[in-house]
Amino acid sequence: MRKLAVFGGKPAFTQPKHVGRPNMADHDKIMQTLENVILSRRLTNNGPLVQKFESQICSELGVGWCIAVANGTLGLEIAARALMPKLGEVILPSFTFVATANALAWQGYTPIFADIDPETHVLDIKDVEAKITMRTVGILGVHLWGTPCIPEELAKLAYLHNLKLIFDAAHAFMCGPEGNRIGHYGDCEVFSFHATKFVNSVEGGAITTSNTFLAKRLRRMRNFGFAGDGTPEVSILGINAKMSELHAAVGLTNLDEAPSFIEWNSNNYAAYMVGLDHSDIRLYPLCAQGNFQYVVIELLGELSADVLASVLKAENVLARRYFSPPCHLMEPYRKDGQTLPATELVASRTLVLPTGLAMTQGEVAKVCEIVRYCVDHVVEVSKGV
Ligand code: T4K
Protein backbone atom coordinates (compact mmCIF):
# COMPACT_ATOMS: atom_id res chain seq x y z
CA MET A 1 0.00 0.00 0.00
CA ARG A 2 1.39 3.37 -1.02
CA LYS A 3 1.38 6.29 1.37
CA LEU A 4 -2.13 7.66 1.95
CA ALA A 5 -2.81 11.18 0.68
CA VAL A 6 -3.85 12.32 4.20
CA PHE A 7 -0.25 11.55 5.21
CA GLY A 8 1.26 13.46 2.31
CA GLY A 9 1.08 10.79 -0.43
CA LYS A 10 -0.19 11.38 -3.96
CA PRO A 11 -4.01 11.13 -4.22
CA ALA A 12 -5.24 7.88 -5.77
CA PHE A 13 -7.37 9.82 -8.27
CA THR A 14 -6.49 13.00 -10.11
CA GLN A 15 -10.17 13.91 -10.64
CA PRO A 16 -12.85 13.75 -7.91
CA LYS A 17 -14.95 10.59 -7.81
CA HIS A 18 -18.48 11.61 -6.82
CA VAL A 19 -21.40 9.74 -5.35
CA GLY A 20 -24.23 10.76 -7.66
CA ARG A 21 -22.23 11.79 -10.72
CA PRO A 22 -25.02 12.00 -13.32
CA ASN A 23 -25.35 9.11 -15.79
CA MET A 24 -25.98 10.61 -19.22
CA ALA A 25 -26.97 9.02 -22.51
CA ASP A 26 -25.03 9.78 -25.70
CA HIS A 27 -24.24 13.52 -25.91
CA ASP A 28 -25.37 13.99 -29.55
CA LYS A 29 -28.64 12.20 -28.89
CA ILE A 30 -29.41 14.44 -25.92
CA MET A 31 -28.48 17.61 -27.80
CA GLN A 32 -30.67 16.58 -30.73
CA THR A 33 -33.73 15.98 -28.53
CA LEU A 34 -33.20 19.30 -26.77
CA GLU A 35 -32.87 21.11 -30.07
CA ASN A 36 -36.07 19.48 -31.33
CA VAL A 37 -37.95 20.77 -28.29
CA ILE A 38 -36.66 24.29 -28.75
CA LEU A 39 -37.47 24.30 -32.45
CA SER A 40 -40.98 22.97 -31.77
CA ARG A 41 -41.71 25.88 -29.41
CA ARG A 42 -43.72 23.49 -27.23
CA LEU A 43 -41.81 23.95 -24.00
CA THR A 44 -44.12 22.98 -21.14
CA ASN A 45 -47.71 22.43 -19.89
CA ASN A 46 -48.23 18.69 -20.36
CA GLY A 47 -46.49 18.58 -23.74
CA PRO A 48 -45.99 15.48 -25.89
CA LEU A 49 -42.63 14.48 -24.36
CA VAL A 50 -43.97 14.67 -20.80
CA GLN A 51 -46.85 12.43 -21.90
CA LYS A 52 -44.44 10.02 -23.59
CA PHE A 53 -42.21 9.95 -20.48
CA GLU A 54 -45.26 9.14 -18.35
CA SER A 55 -46.46 6.34 -20.60
CA GLN A 56 -42.96 4.79 -20.79
CA ILE A 57 -42.72 4.85 -17.00
CA CYS A 58 -46.15 3.14 -16.76
CA SER A 59 -45.08 0.33 -19.08
CA GLU A 60 -41.63 -0.01 -17.46
CA LEU A 61 -43.19 -0.34 -13.98
CA GLY A 62 -46.42 -2.08 -14.93
CA VAL A 63 -48.59 0.56 -13.28
CA GLY A 64 -51.77 2.25 -14.51
CA TRP A 65 -51.01 5.93 -14.01
CA CYS A 66 -47.96 8.17 -13.92
CA ILE A 67 -47.95 11.90 -13.26
CA ALA A 68 -44.60 13.52 -14.04
CA VAL A 69 -43.65 16.39 -11.74
CA ALA A 70 -40.94 19.02 -11.44
CA ASN A 71 -39.09 17.13 -8.67
CA GLY A 72 -39.60 14.35 -6.15
CA THR A 73 -40.16 16.71 -3.22
CA LEU A 74 -43.10 18.44 -4.92
CA GLY A 75 -44.36 14.97 -5.86
CA LEU A 76 -44.43 13.99 -2.18
CA GLU A 77 -46.16 17.25 -1.28
CA ILE A 78 -48.99 16.94 -3.77
CA ALA A 79 -49.39 13.21 -3.06
CA ALA A 80 -49.85 14.03 0.63
CA ARG A 81 -52.28 16.88 -0.13
CA ALA A 82 -54.30 14.77 -2.54
CA LEU A 83 -54.63 11.84 -0.15
CA MET A 84 -54.82 13.40 3.29
CA PRO A 85 -56.99 16.54 3.22
CA LYS A 86 -57.16 16.46 7.03
CA LEU A 87 -53.85 17.50 8.58
CA GLY A 88 -52.42 15.23 11.26
CA GLU A 89 -49.50 12.96 12.05
CA VAL A 90 -47.71 10.97 9.39
CA ILE A 91 -45.33 8.15 10.34
CA LEU A 92 -42.09 7.90 8.37
CA PRO A 93 -38.48 6.80 8.86
CA SER A 94 -35.87 9.24 10.06
CA PHE A 95 -33.14 7.43 8.12
CA THR A 96 -33.88 9.09 4.77
CA PHE A 97 -33.02 12.24 2.84
CA VAL A 98 -34.50 15.23 4.66
CA ALA A 99 -36.80 15.97 1.69
CA THR A 100 -39.08 13.12 2.83
CA ALA A 101 -39.78 14.83 6.16
CA ASN A 102 -39.65 18.38 4.77
CA ALA A 103 -42.33 17.64 2.19
CA LEU A 104 -44.74 16.69 4.98
CA ALA A 105 -43.81 19.47 7.39
CA TRP A 106 -43.95 22.09 4.60
CA GLN A 107 -47.56 21.07 3.97
CA GLY A 108 -48.46 21.27 7.66
CA TYR A 109 -48.41 17.56 8.59
CA THR A 110 -46.56 16.45 11.72
CA PRO A 111 -43.79 13.99 10.91
CA ILE A 112 -43.56 11.18 13.47
CA PHE A 113 -40.35 9.24 13.08
CA ALA A 114 -40.29 5.46 13.44
CA ASP A 115 -37.21 3.32 13.77
CA ILE A 116 -35.76 1.04 11.09
CA ASP A 117 -34.73 -2.57 10.89
CA PRO A 118 -30.91 -2.38 11.18
CA GLU A 119 -30.49 -5.19 8.62
CA THR A 120 -32.64 -3.76 5.84
CA HIS A 121 -32.54 -0.02 6.74
CA VAL A 122 -36.29 0.27 6.01
CA LEU A 123 -39.14 0.82 8.50
CA ASP A 124 -39.56 -1.50 11.46
CA ILE A 125 -43.22 -2.52 11.37
CA LYS A 126 -43.43 -2.90 15.17
CA ASP A 127 -42.28 0.66 15.77
CA VAL A 128 -44.65 1.99 13.11
CA GLU A 129 -47.54 0.22 14.82
CA ALA A 130 -46.47 1.54 18.23
CA LYS A 131 -46.52 5.11 16.90
CA ILE A 132 -50.06 5.08 15.54
CA THR A 133 -52.36 7.41 17.52
CA MET A 134 -55.79 8.99 17.09
CA ARG A 135 -54.00 11.82 15.26
CA THR A 136 -52.31 9.63 12.63
CA VAL A 137 -53.56 10.21 9.08
CA GLY A 138 -50.97 8.32 7.07
CA ILE A 139 -47.75 6.36 6.70
CA LEU A 140 -44.92 7.38 4.38
CA GLY A 141 -42.55 4.44 3.76
CA VAL A 142 -39.20 4.91 2.03
CA HIS A 143 -37.75 2.24 -0.29
CA LEU A 144 -34.26 3.19 0.85
CA TRP A 145 -31.37 2.24 -1.45
CA GLY A 146 -34.04 0.58 -3.67
CA THR A 147 -35.09 -1.98 -1.04
CA PRO A 148 -38.88 -2.43 -0.88
CA CYS A 149 -40.12 -0.91 2.38
CA ILE A 150 -42.22 -3.88 3.61
CA PRO A 151 -45.10 -2.81 1.33
CA GLU A 152 -47.47 -5.69 2.12
CA GLU A 153 -47.06 -5.39 5.89
CA LEU A 154 -47.56 -1.62 5.79
CA ALA A 155 -50.62 -2.02 3.55
CA LYS A 156 -52.21 -4.36 6.11
CA LEU A 157 -51.48 -1.94 8.94
CA ALA A 158 -52.78 1.06 6.98
CA TYR A 159 -55.97 -0.83 6.11
CA LEU A 160 -56.51 -1.88 9.72
CA HIS A 161 -56.19 1.69 11.00
CA ASN A 162 -57.82 3.41 8.02
CA LEU A 163 -54.63 5.31 7.11
CA LYS A 164 -53.30 6.48 3.77
CA LEU A 165 -50.10 4.85 2.56
CA ILE A 166 -47.54 6.64 0.39
CA PHE A 167 -44.11 5.39 -0.61
CA ASP A 168 -41.08 7.56 -1.26
CA ALA A 169 -39.53 5.62 -4.12
CA ALA A 170 -36.86 8.23 -4.95
CA HIS A 171 -34.14 5.54 -4.88
CA ALA A 172 -36.16 2.73 -6.33
CA PHE A 173 -36.81 3.36 -10.00
CA MET A 174 -36.76 -0.02 -11.80
CA CYS A 175 -36.25 -1.96 -8.58
CA GLY A 176 -38.15 -5.17 -7.89
CA PRO A 177 -38.70 -8.10 -10.23
CA GLU A 178 -40.30 -7.68 -13.67
CA GLY A 179 -44.09 -7.53 -13.33
CA ASN A 180 -43.83 -6.63 -9.66
CA ARG A 181 -41.69 -3.54 -9.77
CA ILE A 182 -41.97 -0.81 -7.17
CA GLY A 183 -44.53 1.68 -8.49
CA HIS A 184 -47.90 0.12 -7.66
CA TYR A 185 -47.67 -0.20 -3.87
CA GLY A 186 -49.76 1.76 -1.37
CA ASP A 187 -52.07 4.54 -2.50
CA CYS A 188 -49.25 5.97 -4.60
CA GLU A 189 -45.46 6.03 -4.94
CA VAL A 190 -43.18 8.97 -5.65
CA PHE A 191 -39.98 8.76 -7.72
CA SER A 192 -37.17 11.26 -8.21
CA PHE A 193 -35.33 11.88 -11.48
CA HIS A 194 -32.87 14.33 -9.95
CA ALA A 195 -29.42 14.57 -11.55
CA THR A 196 -27.94 12.24 -8.92
CA LYS A 197 -30.49 9.50 -9.53
CA PHE A 198 -29.90 6.40 -11.63
CA VAL A 199 -32.13 7.77 -14.44
CA ASN A 200 -32.23 11.55 -14.43
CA SER A 201 -34.17 14.30 -16.14
CA VAL A 202 -31.83 16.92 -14.55
CA GLU A 203 -34.59 17.77 -12.05
CA GLY A 204 -37.79 15.78 -12.07
CA GLY A 205 -40.02 13.25 -10.44
CA ALA A 206 -43.15 11.17 -10.93
CA ILE A 207 -46.08 9.87 -8.93
CA THR A 208 -47.41 6.45 -9.88
CA THR A 209 -50.69 4.90 -8.82
CA SER A 210 -53.28 2.31 -9.84
CA ASN A 211 -56.11 4.55 -8.60
CA THR A 212 -57.76 6.41 -11.49
CA PHE A 213 -59.61 8.88 -9.27
CA LEU A 214 -56.39 9.77 -7.42
CA ALA A 215 -54.47 10.11 -10.70
CA LYS A 216 -56.99 12.68 -11.95
CA ARG A 217 -56.77 14.60 -8.69
CA LEU A 218 -52.95 14.61 -8.79
CA ARG A 219 -52.97 15.80 -12.40
CA ARG A 220 -55.17 18.74 -11.43
CA MET A 221 -53.09 19.58 -8.39
CA ARG A 222 -49.94 19.59 -10.52
CA ASN A 223 -51.49 22.24 -12.79
CA PHE A 224 -52.95 24.91 -10.46
CA GLY A 225 -56.14 22.85 -10.02
CA PHE A 226 -57.24 23.09 -13.69
CA ALA A 227 -59.02 20.06 -15.14
CA GLY A 228 -56.69 20.07 -18.15
CA ASP A 229 -59.57 20.04 -20.68
CA GLY A 230 -59.29 23.71 -21.50
CA THR A 231 -62.07 24.80 -19.14
CA PRO A 232 -61.14 27.76 -16.92
CA GLU A 233 -62.79 26.35 -13.76
CA VAL A 234 -60.65 25.38 -10.79
CA SER A 235 -62.42 22.93 -8.49
CA ILE A 236 -59.54 22.02 -6.17
CA LEU A 237 -56.50 23.85 -4.84
CA GLY A 238 -53.44 23.24 -7.00
CA ILE A 239 -49.85 24.33 -7.43
CA ASN A 240 -47.35 24.46 -10.29
CA ALA A 241 -45.53 21.12 -10.17
CA LYS A 242 -45.27 20.56 -13.93
CA MET A 243 -42.30 18.99 -15.66
CA SER A 244 -41.02 20.89 -18.70
CA GLU A 245 -40.48 19.40 -22.16
CA LEU A 246 -36.72 19.93 -21.90
CA HIS A 247 -36.60 17.92 -18.70
CA ALA A 248 -38.79 15.19 -20.19
CA ALA A 249 -36.52 15.08 -23.27
CA VAL A 250 -33.46 14.40 -21.09
CA GLY A 251 -35.43 11.90 -19.01
CA LEU A 252 -36.62 9.97 -22.07
CA THR A 253 -33.16 9.85 -23.62
CA ASN A 254 -31.61 8.64 -20.39
CA LEU A 255 -34.44 6.15 -19.84
CA ASP A 256 -33.55 4.47 -23.17
CA GLU A 257 -30.10 3.79 -21.70
CA ALA A 258 -31.37 2.48 -18.34
CA PRO A 259 -30.51 -1.20 -19.05
CA SER A 260 -26.90 -0.29 -19.80
CA PHE A 261 -26.70 1.90 -16.66
CA ILE A 262 -27.95 -1.07 -14.60
CA GLU A 263 -25.41 -3.41 -16.17
CA TRP A 264 -22.59 -0.98 -15.47
CA ASN A 265 -23.72 -0.39 -11.88
CA SER A 266 -24.15 -4.10 -11.19
CA ASN A 267 -20.64 -4.85 -12.49
CA ASN A 268 -19.28 -2.15 -10.20
CA TYR A 269 -21.26 -3.60 -7.31
CA ALA A 270 -19.78 -7.06 -8.03
CA ALA A 271 -16.30 -5.50 -7.92
CA TYR A 272 -17.15 -3.88 -4.56
CA MET A 273 -18.31 -7.28 -3.28
CA VAL A 274 -14.94 -8.79 -4.11
CA GLY A 275 -12.90 -5.83 -2.87
CA LEU A 276 -14.75 -5.28 0.41
CA ASP A 277 -14.92 -8.87 1.56
CA HIS A 278 -13.83 -8.17 5.15
CA SER A 279 -15.30 -9.08 8.54
CA ASP A 280 -15.37 -5.43 9.67
CA ILE A 281 -17.20 -4.19 6.58
CA ARG A 282 -20.82 -4.86 5.74
CA LEU A 283 -21.60 -4.17 2.10
CA TYR A 284 -25.33 -3.49 2.16
CA PRO A 285 -27.04 -6.23 0.13
CA LEU A 286 -28.82 -4.50 -2.73
CA CYS A 287 -31.95 -6.05 -4.17
CA ALA A 288 -30.82 -8.45 -6.94
CA GLN A 289 -33.22 -6.96 -9.48
CA GLY A 290 -32.52 -3.34 -8.79
CA ASN A 291 -30.64 -0.37 -10.20
CA PHE A 292 -27.50 -0.77 -7.99
CA GLN A 293 -27.27 3.01 -7.69
CA TYR A 294 -26.24 3.16 -4.03
CA VAL A 295 -23.14 1.33 -2.81
CA VAL A 296 -23.61 1.46 0.95
CA ILE A 297 -21.13 0.18 3.50
CA GLU A 298 -21.41 -0.15 7.27
CA LEU A 299 -18.25 -0.12 9.35
CA LEU A 300 -18.60 -2.78 12.02
CA GLY A 301 -15.23 -2.41 13.73
CA GLU A 302 -13.29 0.47 15.28
CA LEU A 303 -12.91 2.66 12.21
CA SER A 304 -15.24 5.66 12.23
CA ALA A 305 -17.20 6.61 9.13
CA ASP A 306 -16.03 10.24 9.46
CA VAL A 307 -12.37 9.19 9.55
CA LEU A 308 -12.79 6.97 6.51
CA ALA A 309 -14.66 9.74 4.66
CA SER A 310 -11.75 12.14 5.38
CA VAL A 311 -9.13 9.64 4.19
CA LEU A 312 -11.11 9.00 1.02
CA LYS A 313 -11.63 12.71 0.42
CA ALA A 314 -7.89 13.27 0.43
CA GLU A 315 -7.68 10.53 -2.23
CA ASN A 316 -10.32 12.43 -4.28
CA VAL A 317 -13.04 9.91 -3.46
CA LEU A 318 -16.04 11.95 -2.28
CA ALA A 319 -17.89 9.32 -0.25
CA ARG A 320 -21.12 10.56 1.38
CA ARG A 321 -22.38 10.20 4.95
CA TYR A 322 -25.99 9.57 3.80
CA PHE A 323 -28.08 9.94 5.98
CA SER A 324 -26.22 11.33 8.97
CA PRO A 325 -27.49 13.05 10.98
CA PRO A 326 -30.83 11.32 10.53
CA CYS A 327 -33.86 13.62 10.25
CA HIS A 328 -35.01 13.39 13.88
CA LEU A 329 -31.69 14.90 15.01
CA MET A 330 -31.89 17.84 12.60
CA GLU A 331 -32.89 21.23 13.94
CA PRO A 332 -36.48 21.42 12.57
CA TYR A 333 -37.33 17.98 13.99
CA ARG A 334 -35.24 17.69 17.15
CA LYS A 335 -37.24 16.93 20.32
CA ASP A 336 -36.11 16.19 23.86
CA GLY A 337 -36.06 12.48 24.58
CA GLN A 338 -36.64 11.42 20.98
CA THR A 339 -34.36 8.45 20.28
CA LEU A 340 -34.35 5.87 17.54
CA PRO A 341 -31.60 3.39 18.48
CA ALA A 342 -31.36 1.40 15.23
CA THR A 343 -31.49 4.55 13.10
CA GLU A 344 -28.76 6.22 15.15
CA LEU A 345 -26.54 3.13 15.06
CA VAL A 346 -26.90 2.62 11.32
CA ALA A 347 -26.45 6.33 10.54
CA SER A 348 -23.28 6.46 12.64
CA ARG A 349 -21.51 3.70 10.72
CA THR A 350 -22.77 4.12 7.16
CA LEU A 351 -20.91 5.52 4.19
CA VAL A 352 -21.96 5.63 0.53
CA LEU A 353 -19.28 4.99 -2.10
CA PRO A 354 -19.19 6.15 -5.72
CA THR A 355 -20.50 4.13 -8.64
CA GLY A 356 -22.19 4.88 -11.97
CA LEU A 357 -20.72 5.45 -15.42
CA ALA A 358 -17.96 7.68 -14.04
CA MET A 359 -16.43 4.71 -12.14
CA THR A 360 -14.72 1.71 -13.73
CA GLN A 361 -14.25 -1.65 -12.04
CA GLY A 362 -10.52 -0.95 -11.84
CA GLU A 363 -11.24 2.29 -10.00
CA VAL A 364 -13.63 0.46 -7.68
CA ALA A 365 -10.81 -1.97 -6.85
CA LYS A 366 -8.58 1.00 -5.96
CA VAL A 367 -11.24 2.47 -3.64
CA CYS A 368 -11.67 -0.93 -1.97
CA GLU A 369 -7.94 -1.21 -1.40
CA ILE A 370 -7.92 2.12 0.47
CA VAL A 371 -11.00 1.18 2.52
CA ARG A 372 -9.52 -2.19 3.51
CA TYR A 373 -6.20 -0.60 4.38
CA CYS A 374 -7.93 1.86 6.72
CA VAL A 375 -9.93 -0.89 8.38
CA ASP A 376 -6.78 -2.97 8.92
CA HIS A 377 -4.70 -0.03 10.20
CA VAL A 378 -7.39 1.75 12.16
CA VAL A 379 -5.16 2.97 15.01
CA GLU A 380 -2.51 4.61 12.79
CA VAL A 381 -5.08 6.00 10.38
CA SER A 382 -7.35 7.43 13.10
CA LYS A 383 -4.40 9.09 14.87
CA GLY A 384 -3.29 10.84 11.70
CA VAL A 385 -6.64 12.25 10.57
N1 T4K B 1 -36.61 11.21 -1.04
C2 T4K B 1 -35.40 10.63 -1.00
C3 T4K B 1 -35.23 9.35 -0.26
C4 T4K B 1 -34.33 11.23 -1.67
O5 T4K B 1 -33.11 10.67 -1.63
C6 T4K B 1 -34.55 12.45 -2.36
C7 T4K B 1 -33.45 13.12 -3.04
C8 T4K B 1 -35.84 12.99 -2.38
C9 T4K B 1 -36.86 12.34 -1.69
C10 T4K B 1 -36.17 14.27 -3.08
O11 T4K B 1 -36.13 14.16 -4.48
P12 T4K B 1 -35.83 15.49 -5.37
O13 T4K B 1 -36.76 16.57 -4.88
O14 T4K B 1 -34.37 15.84 -5.21
O15 T4K B 1 -36.19 15.04 -6.77
C16 T4K B 1 -28.65 14.75 -3.35
C17 T4K B 1 -29.77 15.15 -4.27
O18 T4K B 1 -29.84 16.55 -4.43
C19 T4K B 1 -31.11 14.64 -3.85
O20 T4K B 1 -31.94 14.68 -4.99
C21 T4K B 1 -31.02 13.21 -3.36
N22 T4K B 1 -32.25 12.73 -2.83
C23 T4K B 1 -29.96 13.09 -2.29
C24 T4K B 1 -29.83 11.67 -1.79
O25 T4K B 1 -28.72 13.46 -2.83
P26 T4K B 1 -27.01 16.21 -1.95
O27 T4K B 1 -27.23 17.32 -1.00
O28 T4K B 1 -26.18 15.07 -1.54
O29 T4K B 1 -26.55 16.77 -3.39
P30 T4K B 1 -25.14 17.31 -3.85
O31 T4K B 1 -25.38 18.55 -4.63
O32 T4K B 1 -24.20 17.38 -2.71
O33 T4K B 1 -24.66 16.21 -4.90
C34 T4K B 1 -24.16 14.93 -4.51
C35 T4K B 1 -22.94 14.60 -5.36
O36 T4K B 1 -23.31 14.46 -6.71
C37 T4K B 1 -21.83 15.65 -5.30
O38 T4K B 1 -20.64 15.02 -4.85
C39 T4K B 1 -21.65 16.13 -6.72
C40 T4K B 1 -22.44 15.18 -7.57
N41 T4K B 1 -23.23 15.91 -8.57
C42 T4K B 1 -24.39 16.51 -8.16
C43 T4K B 1 -25.12 17.23 -9.04
C44 T4K B 1 -26.41 17.89 -8.61
C45 T4K B 1 -22.77 16.03 -9.84
O46 T4K B 1 -21.70 15.51 -10.18
N47 T4K B 1 -23.51 16.73 -10.75
C48 T4K B 1 -24.69 17.35 -10.42
O49 T4K B 1 -25.34 17.97 -11.28
O50 T4K B 1 -28.48 15.68 -2.33
pLDDT confidence tier of residue 384, bands split at 50, 70 and 90 = confident
CA 90 to ligand 1 center in whole angstroms: 24
The whole-number average pLDDT for the span 100-113 is 98
pLDDT confidence tier of residue 272, bands split at 50, 70 and 90 = very high
- Over residues 161-178, the pLDDT tens digits come to 999 999 999 999 999 988
* Cβ contact 244:43 at 8 Å: yes
- Over residues 320-378, the pLDDT tens digits come to 999 999 999 999 999 999 999 999 999 999 999 999 999 999 999 999 999 999 999 99
Query: Residue 171: CB partners within 8 Å, gap ≥ 6?
Result: 142, 143, 144, 145, 146, 192, 197, 293, 294
CB atoms within 10 A of CB 143: 27
Entry field: residues in the chain: 385
- Over residues 344-358, the pLDDT tens digits come to 999 999 999 999 999
Q: Regarding predicted confidence, which is higher, 82 or 1?
A: 82
Nearest CA to ligand 1 atom 16: 196
Please state the atom number of ligand 1 nearest to the C-alpha of residue 192: 15
From the number of C-beta atoms within 10 Å of its C-beta (0-12, 13-18, 19+), residue 337 rates as: exposed
Nearest CA to ligand 1 atom 11: 72
Q: Is 16 a pocket residue for ligand 1 (Cβ < 6 Å)?
A: no
The whole-number average pLDDT for the span 252-258 is 97
CA 354 to ligand 1 center in whole angstroms: 13
Q: Is 313 a pocket residue for ligand 1 (Cβ < 6 Å)?
A: no
Residue 385 has pLDDT above 90, yes or no: no
CA 276 to ligand 1 center in whole angstroms: 25
Q: Side chain identity at 45, as an amino acid letter?
A: N
pLDDT confidence tier of residue 383, bands split at 50, 70 and 90 = confident
Percent of the chain with pLDDT over 90: 95
- Over residues 185-204, the pLDDT tens digits come to 999 999 999 999 999 999 99
pTM of the model: 0.97
CA 19 to ligand 1 center in whole angstroms: 9
pLDDT at 2: 67
Residue 11 has pLDDT above 90, yes or no: yes
Please state the atom number of ligand 1 nearest to the C-alpha of residue 76: 9
CB atoms within 10 A of CB 226: 19
Instruction: State the chain's mean pLDDT as an integer.
Output: 96
